[in-house]
Structure 1
């Protein structure tokens, strides 16, 4: 299952030129645009930069017929008549604006030059409401340009903090500016599908980070890391239920929230410290090889309870118990007298609701044309929480 792509073309002055005839690409995921760019070149002889989603024929990804706005510098040749309302939107990411990607590439080129390196080629990999990613070739080794929206802008500061306090656990920025960050290439692959033994190493690496971070929470708050410790977490959970819960799940979700403050107080009494939480700690957000790796994509990071990351890493494992036991042993060793198993039991029913709140936050922060990316996420996670 792939996508059928239509590109509405706009020039750097903001003039809509028309649309290219549709073509197919293999990957169904709407945010992946490397094959969209390659397809425009292969099918139509046009070099484009994809800016943002315009509309689709289905309410949520993946697959289907997808129309993007794409910027083109030269004359595209024959195009079909097309219209696009290029109305500014206050929640549009800078890299989704006409000229936005070019400005970011110019920044990256200058940042490389300041370090004695020369940009030789740039290839767009991904763009959507959560990030834009480019692979940049240089006269030495490849680098990656990542740009995130304002609500993830603390990622670069977190990466710098990790480089200072926990070296080797995450990529270190070569340069950063607002939501832009330039990163050296990391050898290896994204570790999707990693077996349990490899996930144990990932948890061990993150445990080291979280022990250090637990003693430096004020520093991380000052860097802009969002606060999701119990009072703030409770507020978010109640808000998403009040706004988005509907039959048949509303009554069960109300029951889940009953006694929430007592549950969170008992969670704190288990003795595990609040710390830096990655927020999306699955194997695909770890890059490297089976025996060495770095944790990537810290945009979802918050201050909160470390069991959140354990439960994410345990997803889709036939038997997660060995990971849970090893994680609990690590925390009992680090914090004598704590009760990790009880902490997991207390927070596990809340994690799906926390996920619903996270996606609701995305919807609040992005422009409506990008909502289809997350259209199913809030109701899905509310249903999981109710179950």
Structure 2
């Protein structure tokens, strides 16, 4: 599956110039823009920064015919087709989705790397969507990654600072950060471990347990540093608030009994700690000698079971059961008298409910043109929650 792309161009002042002829790119995933940039340069000699998605011919990813907005620094030599485009400002638009936004962010990152003695020799845009914009910056010493996120994910820098001090080999190295959601990360060798088997997932779970055990005594400090608080009653209130604009009928019974269920979870005796929030193998990167957990923007302080439930979510029941048993054995050994198995049983439906609330948070924090990225996720996770309950 691929995408067909129509790229409408604006100049540095945001004035519309017209559209390039449609062209195909190999990746079907809408937020991946590296090939959009590369093909525009190869086919038409145009250097462009992709700003944001404007429209698509299907209700959700992947694939299809997508229209994006891109910025050029000078009018291209290739003839452009007149194309209507609504450039009305929107209060939820990310700074990197505005004309001049990518250039400002790259200039910040370039300056930070120069300060570190790493002059930048090349820059490549890789991704842009409502949750992040990502560029790779090469220098004589290697590479770094610039990531910029919206306000509801900006605590990632605080998480990485804590990990850099408490568990420095387990996460990317934070080189710099500012208060606009920009973070600069050192390159992590290897590849994302989407295809991780049971053995590798078991190793991820064991390594992550050590991090969570270390963080268990610092939950209050992490919250004070800006990491979202999702402990017990706070979690219940947050879920209800996020889901209030949505049809929650399918999971109504679960929501009605949520406070009581979380009280029972508390009685299982496990400590609140740092939770990654999206611990699937695609958020683990390894090169055979080192394994690093990436993408901490969904992190929060709460119950450790949420991460093992996410790590085992798509596995066959026997495989998931073995990983869950090993997880429970570690916590039972480290917290005598606790009941990890009961906690997992109680939190299974809540994990899906929490994911529905996460996607509801995304929808509430992004402009409507990018809603198709997530629109189907809230009802899908509500149905999973109801089924699990």
What TM-score, normalized by structure 2, do the two folds share? 0.96
User: What is aligned with 2:347?
Assistant: 347
User: Counterparts of 2:225 and 2:94 in 1: how far apart (Å)?
Assistant: 21
Q: What's the CA shift string for 1:138-172, capped at 9, x where partnerless?
A: 12111111111111111011101100011211112
Shift of 1:241: 5.1
Residues 65-214 of structure 1 mapped to structure 2, 5 A cutoff: 65-76=65-76, 77-178=78-179, 179-214=181-216
Aligned partners of 2:243 and 2:360 also within 8 Å: no
* SS of aligned partner of 1:363: helix
* SS of aligned partner of 2:121: strand
User: Counterparts of 1:307 and 1:112 in 2: how far apart (Å)?
Assistant: 38
Q: What's the CA shift string for 1:301-345, capped at 9, x where partnerless?
A: 011111110011012222211111110111011111100000000
Shift of 1:258: 3.3
User: What is aligned with 1:235?
Assistant: 237
Segments of 5+ residues of structure 1 without an aligned counterpart are none
User: What is aligned with 1:333?
Assistant: 333
* SS of aligned partner of 1:52: strand
Q: What's the CA shift string for 1:29-79, capped at 9, x where partnerless?
A: 000001111111122221111000111111111111100000011221200
Aligned partners of 2:242 and 2:361 also within 8 Å: no
User: Counterparts of 1:195 and 1:240 in 2: how far apart (Å)?
Assistant: 34
User: Counterparts of 1:294 and 1:24 in 2: how far apart (Å)?
Assistant: 33
* SS of aligned partner of 1:181: strand
Compared CA separation, residues 186 and 241, structure 1 to 2 (3 A): closer
User: Counterparts of 1:241 and 1:141 in 2: how far apart (Å)?
Assistant: 44
Shift of 1:106: 0.5
User: Counterparts of 2:253 and 2:184 in 1: how far apart (Å)?
Assistant: 46
Aligned partners of 1:159 and 1:173 also within 8 Å: yes
User: What is aligned with 2:372?
Assistant: 372
User: What is aligned with 1:36?
Assistant: 36
Aligned partners of 1:287 and 1:294 also within 8 Å: yes
The total of aligned residue pairs comes to 383
RMSD: 1.2
User: What is aligned with 1:55?
Assistant: 55
Q: Say whether residues 1:313 and 2:320 are aligned partners.
A: no
Aligned partners of 2:272 and 2:304 also within 8 Å: yes
User: What is aligned with 1:17?
Assistant: 17
Aligned partners of 1:10 and 1:17 also within 8 Å: yes
* SS of aligned partner of 1:327: helix
User: Counterparts of 1:166 and 1:139 in 2: how far apart (Å)?
Assistant: 27
* SS of aligned partner of 1:144: strand
User: Counterparts of 1:126 and 1:102 in 2: how far apart (Å)?
Assistant: 15
Aligned partners of 1:240 and 1:357 also within 8 Å: yes
User: Counterparts of 1:93 and 1:209 in 2: how far apart (Å)?
Assistant: 32
* SS of aligned partner of 1:183: strand
User: What is aligned with 2:275?
Assistant: 277
Compared CA separation, residues 184 and 204, structure 1 to 2 (3 A): same
User: What is aligned with 1:265?
Assistant: 263
User: What is aligned with 2:292?
Assistant: 294
Segments of 5+ residues of structure 2 without an aligned counterpart are none
Aligned partners of 2:349 and 2:386 also within 8 Å: no
Shift of 1:212: 1.5
Q: What's the CA shift string for 1:81-127, capped at 9, x where partnerless?
A: 01222222111111111101100111111101111111000010000
Aligned partners of 2:8 and 2:70 also within 8 Å: yes
Q: What's the CA shift string for 1:202-231, capped at 9, x where partnerless?
A: 111211111121111121111111111111
User: Counterparts of 1:162 and 1:25 in 2: how far apart (Å)?
Assistant: 37
Q: Say whether residues 1:382 and 2:379 are aligned partners.
A: no
Compared CA separation, residues 237 and 382, structure 1 to 2 (3 A): same
Shift of 1:242: 4.3
User: Counterparts of 1:9 and 1:343 in 2: how far apart (Å)?
Assistant: 52
User: Counterparts of 2:102 and 2:198 in 1: how far apart (Å)?
Assistant: 39
